[in-house]
Chains A and B, each alone.
Chain A
Amino acid sequence: MSAPELVEDFFRHEYGRLVATLVRRVGVQHLAAVEDAVQGALLTALQSWPLRGRPKQPSAWLYTVASNALVGQLRQGRRRQELLDQRLPVASAVQAPPDITVLGSEMQDDLLRLLFVCCHESLPEQTQVVLALKALCGFSVKEIAQRLLVRQASVYKRLERARARLRDHRELDDLGPAQYEQRMPAVHRIIYAVFTEGYLSNHASQAIRSELCREALRLGRLLVQHPQGQIPETFALLALMHLHAARLGAREDGAGGLVLLQDQDRSRWDAHEIAEGLQWLQRSAEGDRFCRYHAEAGIAAEHCLAPSFEQTGWQRIVQCYELLERISPSALHTLNRAVAVAEWKGPQAGLQVLAGLEPPTWLQGSYMWSAVLADLHRRCGHEAKAARYRELALDAAPSPAVRALLRRRFAQTLCD
Chain B
Amino acid sequence: MAPPGELSFEQPSGGTLTLRITGSWKLHKDLPSADSLRHQLDQYADLQTIEIDARKVDEWDSGLLIFLGRTLEIAARHDLELQTIGLPDGATRLLQLATAVPEEKGAEREPEQKTFLIHLGDETISFFKGCGDLLEFVGDTVLAITNLVRGKAQYRRSDFALVFESCSGEALPIVTLISFLVGIILAFVGLMQLRFFGAQIFVADLVGIAMFRVMAAIMTGIVMAGRTGGAFAAQLGTMQVNQEIDALKTLGISPMEFLVLPRMLGLTVMMPLLTLYANVMGVIGGAVVAYSEPNITLMEYYHRTVTAVSLWDLGIGLFSSVVFGVIVAFAGCMRGMQCGRSASAVGDATTAAVVTAIVGIIVSTAVITVITSILGV
A and B bound? no
